[in-house]
A = this chain, B = another copy of it.
């Protein structure tokens, strides 16, 4: 781990993100997810805690695998409703100076020229603090919302995403040359048309023929997040991602993933540290260990098993309604794929036989990352050892109660990390990419940088 632990807050624009049922906790403000003040106040808390970014998950599908229906998701509010996370960004940017924004958007329901313009507009408005979490969309329900019968095959989705990125790189990096914008009041010249190139892209999945409609923004290409964990997804991330979000229950699952992806990055001509790894974790901290444990017990009493199973079934594609809540889970099925999926929830202790009830309790707060509970010292120890043993650079912190989980972390854990010299006392100046990778522009080893020269781009007619 580098000196400074990196931190994102990991949320959804929904009454439930990864802690089903907890919206009903009396101190939880999660039901206010649809109001501007909720987002503005969260952004201020995170900036007070020197978080690198607010990271917002998204998707346009509803989880409908559990009992073969969306009813449980709707009843429990489990990522339904799910509002558009880009819409609140400018309000949050207006009340902060340094906080980055990692916003999810899918290459399956966006159009390259339109998405490129949207992110460039936000990169200007945030002064270089916007990041894009590139996803391909994995639920059939999201495909149906677009009028398709089902989602494309997994690898095809990534091929399509590769081409989507190529098209947007051309617009972001190649359309407006450095120095194209003149803004000379004396001559009345806004821009030099000889330095603005029309991008003609004619690929297998996308076509476009246009100049990029925004002038060059502080980062040009938004800071790129990715979270794919399949083999194809890892190659995609190893090529394109500047930060990767991992989730797994134990150091034993995360460490090898980090090493594998750094090796893949090298095979694609990049530096192994061109990618920053954030590992999902949920922190319940008290002034003492006892206080933290009491808090956890109280939170746990709100976990909604129906909502949890709706989420787990949606993520894995396994309809968990086929299993008894109290029976030993692995004994109930001989299906290897199911074993492997369940393992991804429970491998924190591979020798243990879990019941579904125990899986719900274990993952019902904060999802598939570790639940770190204790005093500020306990938490700092745990975060440091996760970093040292897995090679992750930081954490994608999920919440139990909003915004209490982040306020507790900022008030109790951040000062302890700062005392230990493993967390920044102040933000570095500059854009999100400068803060995380030391420069505004994509590194030259990044595939997007290749589109700065105009080799593949015809001059404007």
Contact of A145 among B89, B126, B146, B209 (CB under 8 A): B209
Q: Which of B75, B88, B111, B191 contacts A193 (CB 8 A)?
A: B75
Contacts of A109 in B (CB 8 A): 111, 113-114
A60 touches B113 (CB 8 A): yes
For window 112-152 of A, CB contacts with B under 8 Å fall at: 113-114, 117-118, 120-122, 124-127, 141, 144-147
Report how many copies the assembly holds.
2
User: A83 an interface residue at 8 Å Cβ cutoff?
Assistant: yes
Is B26 in contact with A60, judged by CB distance below 8 angstroms? no
Task: Give the complex CA separation of A74 and B197 in angstroms.
Answer: 11
By CB atoms of chain B within 10 A, which of A77, A95, A302 has the most? A77
Q: Is the CB of B13 within 8 A of A75?
A: no
Question: Taking the nearest CB of chain B, how far is it from the CB of A461, in angstroms?
Answer: 7
Separation of A117 and B109 alpha carbons in the complex (Å): 12
Measured between alpha carbons, how far is A276 from B88 in the docked complex, in Å?
29
B-contact 0/1 string along A189-209, CB 8 Å cutoff: 111110010100000001111
Q: Are A213 and B62 in contact (CB under 8 A)?
A: yes
CB distance from A85 to the nearest CB of B (A): 8
Docked CA distance A23–B215 (Å)? 16
Residues of B within 8 A of A36 (CB): 90, 93-94, 125-126
Contact of A288 with B by CB under 8 A: no
> How many angstroms from the CA of A427 to the CA of B62 in the assembled complex?
39
The answer to whether A213 and B121 touch across the interface, beta carbons within 8 angstroms, is no
Distance to closest chain B CB from A321 (angstroms): 15
Render A86-99 as a binary contact track against B, CB cut-off 8 A, 1 for contact: 11111111110000
Convert A145-186 into 0s and 1s, putting 1 for each residue whose CB lies closer than 8 angstroms to a CB of B.
Answer: 111000000000000000000000000000000000001011
Contact between B34 and A125, CB atoms less than 8 A apart? yes
Question: In the assembled complex, how far is the CB of residue A113 from the closest CB belonging to chain B, in whole angstroms?
Answer: 4
Please tell me if A366 contacts chain B, counting CB pairs below 8 Å. Answer: no
Contact with B along A407-420 (1 / 0, CB 8 A): 00000000000000
| Residue of B60, B83, B93 touching A120 (CB-CB under 8 A) | B83
A-B contact pairs, 22 of them (CB 8 A): A21-B188, A24-B186, A35-B125, A39-B90, A40-B94, A60-B114, A62-B210, A62-B211, A70-B198, A70-B460, A74-B211, A75-B189, A75-B190, A77-B191, A83-B120, A84-B121, A87-B118, A87-B122, A90-B92, A114-B146, A144-B208, A145-B208
